[in-house]
Amino acid sequence: MMRQYELVERVRRYNPDTDEALLNRAYVYAMRAHGTQKRASGDPYFSHPLEVAAILTDLRLDDATIVAALLHDTIEDTATTRAEIDELFGAEIGALVEGLTKIKKLDLVSKQAAQAENLRKLLLAIAEDVRVLLVKLADRLHNMRTLHYVPEVKRNRIAEETLEIYAPLAGRMGMQAIREELEELSFRQLSPEAYRTIVGRLESSRERHIQAIAEIEAQLTKKLADNGITAEVTGREKRPYSIWRKMERKTVGFEQLSDLIGFRVIVGELAECYRTLGIVHTTWPMVPGRFKDYISTPKQNGYRSLHTTVVGPGRQRVELQIRTRGMQDVAEYGIAAHALYKDGNSAYERLSSDTQAYGWLRRTIELLAEGDSPEEFLEHTKLELFHDQVFCFTPKGRLIALPRRATPIDFAYAVHTDIGDTAVGCKIDGKISPLVSELQNGSEVEIITATGATPPAAWESVVITGKARAAIRRATRAAIRAQYAGLGRKLVERAFERAGKPFDEPRVIASLHRLARTSLEDALAAVGRGELRANDVIKAVFPEWTEDVSVPQQQRRQPEPITEAGWFALARARSVKFKVPGHGAVSPAGPAIPIRGINGDLPVRFAPDGGAVPGDRIVGILTPGEGITIYPIQSPALKVFDDEPERWLDVRWDVDGQERHRFPARLKLTSLNEPGSLAQIAQVIGERDGNIDNVRMSRRSPDFTEVTIDIEVFDLKHLNAIIADLRAKSVVSSVERYNG
């Protein structure tokens, strides 16, 4: 167990001005408070807060955070009170310890509603002082390191909570080393067989990897030195969990992975990052589509670096990260890299104001006030935690970070809810584009709005961000409410007219308490929904009025039935499908035509450039005399028909699972220019039972060839499996589906 002077020395290494008396006092107090308590391992309980403090010294955190780590279990597990800590160590440290005590009581792996509410409390505790999260992450890291001492029934729950909540939070705070270790320890607990398999494979190839790392380190260091750049070049194997996620994402085997080694190049100055990149790219061929500049466009957690992949020595793919020492500190320590300065501000103020990562946390907390339910908040937060990002710009240059696969609709809601609610179109890089387009890094997005426009309910299934989904749901509910209120108003006005009473809004509003309603719109909507009778509103305004019961029920004037058009309007607002006699299935956009394929019940053909497959969201374009052409919703070819809305049809797949039909799709590949590459590509498609219809090749450079392949597949899942297998081939640099 670490001695008192050893802890002080660890802090003094990075903070010569540390308050040694404060650290010593906290060490002794925590040790006495925990007394003879033992951990599951049999070690003295005090060893745990001491190890947590040691982890935080590696992150070079301030004295208050180190002291809070030493005391973080005292209120929960001993007779210590908040008042006592405030008196002995100050209110700042007392608040940190109390925040950690609240978090410890939360169960983040439970049924969805409870989990969502607890996640709210977690983020609120963090928002008060982000150092609470830093201590909690260190606490969770040490608990995961000693998880094997915990009773077996609890291990999976703790590991699941770590993988779902704490590891992503560490990533959002930029603390990659802690995130990776938390993921690794959770993966080992939750998927022990997969973990052992990957570790075994890595060990069997380690000697080859060590040789490759040494060779590339030496070559790259010499090449940079010859150009006057002093650089620290280090290589390492990828982590087992990172490898497992890639295997899962691409549905490939271990032997199909070609980039198991990554290299980091640390240089002295910012300008040398770009010089290094130029040297690397002129020495070895760059793999297209694998370059990312996070220096000019940092990630939301403050991470800055250049990323590229080249075909290095021995035609081996080499991933490189190029950054300065300062960037490396932020990459390693994340938000913690901002904790110590020589000015007079507190660590909390610096962490709050100096970091983009804390900005993300503040924006997430703002959603607490907007969420209509804990489940919606949970959905949004998990989407934010787990998605990689794409960076786009407004026409005025404002940077908007969104999850990958986000659409201009997500972009609009990220700028402002009102812009999203009134969006009717968009321009991407100056060109009119569909609102369902997938945004790419660096795109400039201009949202076109219209006064009075409302978002279609169908957008909810298109958008990616939780903020957009929640706003669309609210707008949909508001539209339904407005429709019911409008219907209720007509019913009430007619009822007042039949009763010979004047319909006076102020008098109705003054009588709402008798109807147990808080607003006129509430009351009218309740009448429209049938929850409240129109005559009840009359009685509330005119208590002396009695309903005429002398007229037989069947002779009383009934409210006029809602017309078919009225039901269609309600259906559009509610985004439901229903049947009207003689009309068949009706969707919010009109009749939904079942599509069975080229040989089906309708004169149907598929888009000439790229086709469509079951699983795609599709639309039909009607051409008089020729039939219907089916396009995937993401096809750029649909722009031609933007000004002809009368030709657009809502269509859906109606494929018989017993009778498998093939459908057309097109792939664009970039392959290495070497003997046998096309044969390997064809073999992958054949083994997956895909049918090649046409192949076109063009030489892009001496090292790479562009290949366009028209294939026939059964559905989207089949197509994605083929794409995943192709991406795993070392001869394939990139492969994407193409829709012209």
pLDDT in tens, 506-558: 999 998 888 888 889 888 988 877 788 888 899 888 988 887 655 444 444 44
Minimum mean pLDDT range among 197-211, 270-284, 378-392: 378-392
pLDDT band of residue 571 (cuts 50, 70, 90) is: very low
Supply angle C-alpha 367, 371, 372, rounded to 5: 170
pLDDT in tens, 470-519: 888 888 888 888 878 887 888 888 888 888 889 989 999 998 888 888 88
Q: Is 42 exposed, middle or buried (0-12, 13-18, 19+ CB in 10 A)?
A: exposed
Q: How far apart are CA 487 and CA 480, in angstroms?
A: 11
Lateral strand order in the sheet of 445-449? 431-433, 423-428, 445-449
Tell me: pLDDT of 568 over 60: no
Q: To which H or E segment does residue 293 belong?
A: strand 292-293
- H runs (alpha helix) in 236-370: 240-250, 270-283, 325-333, 347-353, 356-370
Percent of the chain whose predicted confidence (pLDDT) is above 70: 79
State the catalytic residues: 76-77
* Per-residue model confidence (pLDDT) at position 475: 87
pLDDT value of residue 557: 42
The count of other CB atoms within 10 Å of the CB of residue 610 is 23
pLDDT of residue 440: 84
For residues 114 and 223, the model is more confident at 223
pLDDT tier for residue 120 given thresholds of 50, 70 and 90: low
Compute the mean pLDDT over every residue in the chain, rounded to the nearest whole number.
80
Cα torsion 441, 446, 450, 452 to 10°: value is: 40
For residue 376 the two structure tokens come to 């919606």
- Is the pLDDT at 159 greater than 60? The verdict is yes
What was the pLDDT predicted at 275? Answer: 95
Q: Crossing angle, helix 131-145 and helix 152-161, to 10 degrees?
A: 140
| 222 pLDDT above the threshold of 80 | yes
**Higher-confidence residue: 355 or 249?**
249
Helices 356-370 and 374-386 sit at what angle, rounded to 10 degrees?
A: 160
Name 647's Cβ contacts closer than 8 Å, sequence gap at least 6.
621, 622, 623, 641
Section 150-178 average pLDDT: 85
pLDDT at position 583, please? 29
pLDDT recorded at residue 546: 82
Q: Quick one: average pLDDT of 627-633?
A: 83
What is the pLDDT confidence band of residue 418, given thresholds at 50, 70 and 90? very high
Judged against a pLDDT cut of 90, whether residue 236 lies above it is answered with no
- pLDDT score recorded for residue 379: 54
Which has more confidence, 600 or 12? 12
pLDDT at 596: 44
pLDDT at 383 over 80: no
**What is the per-residue pLDDT for 565?**
39
Give percent above pLDDT 90 in the chain. 28
**Domains within the chain, CATH numbers bracketed:** 4-198 (1.10.3210.10), 199-337 (3.30.460.10), 387-458 (3.10.20.30), 474-560 (no CATH), 592-740 (3.30.70.260)
As a whole number, mean pLDDT of residues 123-151 equals: 85
Coil, strand, or helix at residue 431?
strand
pLDDT of residue 628: 79
Whether the pLDDT of residue 48 is over 60: the answer is yes
The pLDDT assigned to 361 comes to 60
Residue 309 has pLDDT above 80, yes or no: yes
